[in-house]
Amino acid sequence: QVQLVESGGGSVQAGGSLRLSCAASGYTYRNYCMGWFRQTPGEEREGVAFIASDGSTGFADSVKGRFTISRDNAKNTLYLQMNSLKPEDTAMYYCAAGPLMLYCSGGSPFTYWGQGTQVTVSS
């Protein structure tokens, strides 16, 4: 049974940092594209950051230079380090896994999804 479990969300003031984690199980983690998405009520889901099986990364323009994505294949865990947080970063954050090892972006197919972790940034 595939599981993606996010953690690390919370409430911070603008300018602060949070580190999200996503623990994966039930599939061959190292072979999958992994991504972080976010969504606020009434808005479309937005792709935030992506990391392919070879470690190559991609970011939404809105988070470039502030967010870092990484993966630990030994621990089957995905991370999102978020620095210099802004109120507009407030959203539910989801991790997702896609079967295309090296084609890894917002346009990639994502097969598995976590339940999300809330991030709230106050001004």
Q: Is 48 within 8 Å of 60 (Cβ atoms)?
A: yes
Q: What is residue 31's three-state secondary structure?
A: helix
Kindly report, residue by residue over 8-24, the tens digit of the pLDDT. Answer: 999 999 999 999 999 99
Kindly report, residue by residue over 52-99, the tens digit of the pLDDT. Answer: 999 999 999 999 999 999 999 999 999 999 999 999 999 999 999 999
Kindly report, residue by residue over 22-48, the tens digit of the pLDDT. Answer: 999 999 998 999 999 999 999 999 999
Kindly report the three-state secondary structure assignment for every residue of 46-62.
EEEEEECCCCCEEECCC
